Chain A
Amino acid sequence: MLASIAGIGGVLLLAWVASGADKYTAPRTAWGDPDLQGQWNSQTSTPLERPIAGALAGKDSISDEEAESLEVKHLNDGDKPPTEGDPGTYNSFWFDRGKGLNRTSLIIDPPDGRVPAYTPEAEQRLAAERAERAKRGPADSYADLPAWTRCITRGWNGIGSNYSSNTQIFQSPGYVVIYQELIHEPRIIPIDSSATLPADVKQWLGASRGRWEGDTLVVETRNFDPRSSYRGSSPDLVLTERYTRTAADTIDYRFTMHDPSVYVKDWTVGRPMRREAGKLTVFEYACHEGNVAMTGILAGARREEKEKK
């Protein structure tokens, strides 16, 4: 029954699209591809997952007013003083919390807005990883710190960084490059079906191939380094991203996590990108070059050990 309703809905939607009503057609590059070029920002205060308690539990959409009041709440929370003993972090001035969406989660599928349950196999692996990590102190070695802190990579970064979640998209015949300001990382996407890397060759950002489906850029990425895991994903993750320009100033950006040994079902996130041409200049984020945190964290940990003795 549900399926047939969905089917009818789909037919109606198709009919509506076919009628051309309000249909936006993306501009084209000089060689005929949909044109996604320019500066974009995707920061939002809407959380990845829908809260399981409180006013938003069980709700998938909210009004503009509710979205705005959540945005203000996030800003105010960021300015609260830290609890005693906590050195605190940046206040809201330094963060870009972004605009609130009319949704309660960035996850649009499954419909409960939550990351699907882990498979028993993944539960076991993650528990073993946690147990292994617990045998060590917080900063016994530089390798104990996250790739972000080490300035190695921010990963493929579909989810943003709380500040400077800026990208500039470049296109040439046969290529799209999604250039992430953090941390000067180009995601180079050949638009062809040529072979990617052999399965045992891994990279932090994986290996991507793209294709056009109508106005939509579909990017499939594999070959992820195990250390680039996101929400428990494995090196077998197949990440499918879809970039569709739905208005002059909007890319409807979605990604789907397909990793059946880890999640009991696939899940999809929607995180619109806003065009910032003329308002935004992507600048060099020299993370490693200015990284005094690594020395501070490691030296601090050694000092703490000495004082405990």
Chain B
Amino acid sequence: MSQWMKGLITGAILAAGVTLVATGPWSRAGATSFARMPDGKPNLNGIWAASNTANWNVETHAARQGPVTALGAAFSVPGGLGVVEGGELPYKPEARATRDANGKNWMANDPEVKCYLPGVPRATYMPYPFQIVQSTEPNDILITYEFASASRILHMSNPQEAPVDSWMGWSNGHWDGDTLVVDVTSFVDQTWFDRAGNYHSGALHVVERYRPAGPDVIQYEATIDDPNVFTRTWKMSMPLYRRTEKNARLMEYKCVEFAEELMYGHLNKGAKP
């Protein structure tokens, strides 16, 4: 057995020990069977991930061939039932045309391709895990995503107005019973919802709800309001699953360097014009 394996097993035993010790004040309680923090709030700490195809398209979509011939079946698009309640996004007619144009040129225009901060709610359902770091009130909560080290501070007991717009928006959180509600505003207009070109303007306002639905499941909802792009408010929802491996950790995915050849390669010495 390698040192690495021994370490893993020791880690797992230790982690199991911690779990046993931890059944004191933040033991599972109530109908939701969800762990709780010492202040009685649901304990959302952990590493979480969606398990759906919303990052390809938040709307229902059939499987299709991917854009890179050389990658064949390895990077083609899986079908998916979509995460938008009611099915279709309520675009204004001219906004729908913009979405369609975005979708046609997604590789050139999708901010994900350039490793730009993905915005909210997209960061939640990208195919990378994220970690919630929750203390007790009045402390802020951190949500940190593996993709691009994107991170958000949820201002919990000191709601503040955003000093200026940002890629991940400005998050003020509060508890509505056992549900963590996050009001997210002050976005730049550069992020998208998915690789299909679904997009928003700088007027985007997102209200997220994280509702514990079991020991290892959060039911996630994001209500989207953007009167510049949509005719009405709409909602997406999906379960988020805990990464239950005992050694689950976020790895680094500092993807800037993976996008540099694409973004700057033409400016290198000797590059073909």
> Using a CB–CB distance below 8 Å, which chain A residues touch chain B?
29-31, 37-38, 137, 140-143, 150-153, 168, 170-175, 177, 179, 183-186, 188, 190, 192-196, 198, 203-205, 281-284, 286, 288-289, 294-295, 298-299, 301-302, 305
CB distance from B230 to the nearest CB of A (A): 25
Q: A195-B4, A195-B7 are in contact. Are A172 and B45 (CB under 8 A)?
A: yes
Asked if B131 is at the interface (CB within 8 A of a chain A CB), the reply is yes
Identify the closest chain A residue to B45 (Cβ).
A172
- Among B143-151, B172-180, B196-204, the stretch that binds chain A is B143-151
Q: A30-B37, A172-B133, A289-B117 are in contact. Are A302 and B269 (CB under 8 A)?
A: yes
Check A194–B136 contact: CB distance below 8 A: no
- Among B54-62, B74-82, B160-168, B215-223, the stretch that binds chain A is B160-168
A140 and B271 CA atoms in complex are apart in Å by 10
Known: A140-B269, A171-B133, A186-B144. 15 other contacts (CB 8 A): A30-B135, A152-B257, A153-B254, A170-B139, A172-B133, A172-B135, A179-B151, A183-B149, A188-B249, A192-B14, A192-B18, A286-B117, A288-B256, A302-B267, A302-B269
Q: Which residues of A contact B269 (CB under 8 A)?
A: 137, 140-141, 301-302, 305
Check B133–A203 contact: CB distance below 8 A: no
CB distance from B197 to the nearest CB of A (A): 19
Interface of B is mostly: loop
CB distance from A292 to the nearest CB of B (A): 11
Identify the closest chain A residue to B164 (Cβ).
A283
A242 and B237 CA atoms in complex are apart in Å by 42
Q: Which residues of A contact B166 (CB under 8 A)?
A: 283-284, 286
Check B135–A37 contact: CB distance below 8 A: yes
Q: A186-B144, A194-B10, A288-B116 are in contact. Are A150 and B257 (CB under 8 A)?
A: yes
Q: Which residues of A contact B101 (CB under 8 A)?
A: none
Interface of A is mostly: loop
A281 and B37 CA atoms in complex are apart in Å by 25
A137 and B268 CA atoms in complex are apart in Å by 11
Asked if B85 is at the interface (CB within 8 A of a chain A CB), the reply is no
Check A174–B18 contact: CB distance below 8 A: yes
Check A184–B151 contact: CB distance below 8 A: yes
Asked if B15 is at the interface (CB within 8 A of a chain A CB), the reply is yes
A183 and B39 CA atoms in complex are apart in Å by 32
| Contact residue among B4, B37, B148, B160 (Cβ-Cβ distance under 8 Å from A198) | B4
CB distance from A8 to the nearest CB of B (A): 39
A148 and B247 CA atoms in complex are apart in Å by 31
- Tell me which of B15, B45, B256, B261 has the highest count of chain A C-beta atoms within 10 A of its own C-beta: B256
Q: Which residues of A contact B114 (CB under 8 A)?
A: 288
Identify the closest chain B residue to A277 (Cβ).
B158
Check B140–A194 contact: CB distance below 8 A: no
A175 and B11 CA atoms in complex are apart in Å by 14
Q: A142-B267, A188-B249, A299-B267 are in contact. Are A175 and B116 (CB under 8 A)?
A: no
- Tell me which of A142, A194, A282 has the highest count of chain B C-beta atoms within 10 A of its own C-beta: A194
Check B267–A204 contact: CB distance below 8 A: no
**B window 214-268: CB within 8 A of A:** 247, 249-252, 254, 256-257, 260-261, 263-265, 267-268
Check A184–B250 contact: CB distance below 8 A: no
**B window 13-57: CB within 8 A of A:** 14-15, 18, 22, 25-26, 37-39, 45
